[in-house]
Amino acid sequence: MIGEGTKSTNQRRHSYVQEHVEVGFFTDPTVCIGCKACEVACKEWNHVPDDGFVWSGNSYDNTGHLGASTWRHVMFVEQDRQKGNQIVGSHSLGNGDGEDPFRWIFLSDVCKHCEDAGCLEACPTGAIVRTEVGSVLVQNDVCNGCGYCVVSCPFGVIDRRPKPLPDAGGAFKCTFCYDRQKSGLVPACAKVCPTESIVFGRLDDLRARATHRVQELHEHGYDDAQLYDPRETSVGGIHAFFLILGEPEAYGLPPKPQVPTIYLKSAWTAAFATAIAAIIATLLAFAFFS
């Protein structure tokens, strides 16, 4: 809860790494104020280089998307819809003067740290590993920059860092501040979030808390509040899950994310069948012409 001070799971020290406890992030846009402190803290702690100061003109979002040098991204979603019972503009007063409803939602996006992670499964060098707390970590000194992980991420999170940035060529993404966690500290983004929109903690606690929050919001008129926590698909659940208002597509989140490896069987079968057909065709050709 907001304002618990040092008792908050976002502030107190822990030993989840030592105790092998599954941890996660729960991100709640209904209290996010779009301050981007998470983006800044992430860059500062992890020494993530700047990747250009570009003015996008897209709402307040100049970050654009997650990538090799952006491990937290605050989305600014503008929609012609009502947010709960919020009164903004004449539409929500029921004036009927034809003005569309509108709402502005902020949501801090991050690597989902999938249970069955596409990047990890695709990595040929073993650079990507799973940690004691269930997060997915890229070991940059092992990564050879092949880029297989990039196309294997169902969320478009991981990317290779372009030149001339430091360590260019390697693949990068959120580390879940594994270095901090080993020392009992919480990830930098959660630590600085002023309204505890990002909550860090035990995955099971967070899920209970998130369910409660959705109920609470439903009672307060946020009819379209739901959790984005795909556990039924092949990613098998994620460690960074979100509360969203409306549909996941509006946040660039795939409604049914799949690990690419589930297509391996059909892909290989098709390839095998094609190969056989080609060989037969070749043999037939020889037989025909001779």
Partner 1 sequence: MPGLGTSFGRGGATTAQQDLANADCILIEGSSMAEAHPVGFRWVMKAKERGATIIHVDPRFSRTSALADIWVPLRAGTDIAFLGGLVRHLIENNLFFREYVVPYTNASCILSDEYRDPEGNGDGYFSGWNEEKRAYEGDSWLYKGGDLSRPERDLTLQHPQCVFQKLKRHFSRYTPEMVEKICGIPPELFHKVADALVAASGPKKTAAVCYAVGWTQHSKGVQIIRAAAILQLLLGNIGRPGGGILALRGHASIQGSTDIPTLYDILPGYLTMPHKGDQTLQQYLDTYTKKTGLWSGYPKYMVSTLKAYYGKRATAKNDFGYSWLPKLTGNHSFFEFLYDMLDGKMEGMFLMGQNPAVGAPNSRLQRKALSKLKWLVVRDMVEIESANFWRESPEIDRGELKAEDIETEVFFFPAAGHAEKEGAFTNTQRLLQWREKAVDPPGDCRSEAWFMHQLALRLIAKAKASDDSIDEPLRALDWWYPEDELGDPKTEAVLTEINGWYTDPVAGVGDSSGNESVVFGIDREGNPHHGKQVNGFAELKADGSTASGCWIYSGVLGRDGVNKANSRKSKDYLGHGWGFAWPGDRRIIYNRASARPDGSPWSERKKLVWWDWDSDKWTGIDVPGFVKGKPPDFEPEVGAEGLDAIPGDAPFTLHEDGLGWLFVPKGLQDGPLPTHFEPLESPVSNELYSHNTNPPEHWIGTRHRAMQSFHLC
Q: Which two tokens stand for residue 51?
A: 């990747």
Report the C-alpha gap between 125 and 170 in whole angstroms. Answer: 12
Closest distance of CB 177 from partner 1, Å = 21
162 versus 194: smaller Cβ distance to partner 1: 194
* The binder of partner 1 chosen from 11, 62, 79, 86 (CB under 8 A): 86
Residues 214-243 that bind partner 1 (CB under 8 A): 220
**Interface pattern 178-197 for partner 1 (x via CB under 8 A):** ----------------xxx-
Distance, in Å, from the CA atom of 32 to the CA atom of 24, rounded to the nearest integer, reads: 18
In angstroms, rounded to a whole number, what is the distance separating the alpha carbons of residues 2 and 273?
58
Q: Cβ of residue 79: shortest distance to partner 1, in angstroms?
A: 11
Which residue in 85, 125, 211, 269 binds partner 1 (CB under 8 A)?
A: 85
Nearer to partner 1, 28 or 115 (CB): 28
Q: Which of 11, 90, 226, 258 binds partner 1 (CB under 8 A)?
A: 90
Residues β-bridged to residue 182? none
Residues between 121 and 150 that touch partner 1 (CB under 8 A): none
HSE-CB at 56 with a 13 A cutoff on CA atoms is: 11
User: What is the spatial distance between Cα 190 and Cα 71, in angstroms, rounded to a whole number?
Assistant: 13
Give buried/exposed letters for 162-172 (b at 16+ CB in 10 A, else e). eeebeeeebbb
Site residues for partner 1, 59-78, by CB under 8 A, read 60
74 versus 138: smaller Cβ distance to partner 1: 74
Q: Which amino acid is at 43?
A: K
User: How far, in Å, CA of 164 to CA of 147, rounded?
Assistant: 17
The encoded tokens of residue 178 equal: 């594994």
Instruction: Tell me how far, at minimum, the Cβ of 9 lies from partner 1, in Å.
Output: 15
- Pick from 105, 171, 240, 253 the residue near partner 1 by CB under 8 A: 105
Q: Cα(290)–Cα(284) distance, rounded to whole angstroms?
A: 10
Establish if 87 lies at the interface with partner 1 (CB under 8 A).
yes
Beta carbon of residue 32, minimum distance to partner 1 (angstroms, whole number): 8
Question: Is the separation of the CB atoms in 182 and 2 below 8 Å?
Answer: no
Q: Which residues of this protein are in contact with partner 1, per CB under 8 A?
A: 1-3, 5, 31, 33-35, 37, 60, 83, 85-90, 93, 95, 103-106, 194-196, 220
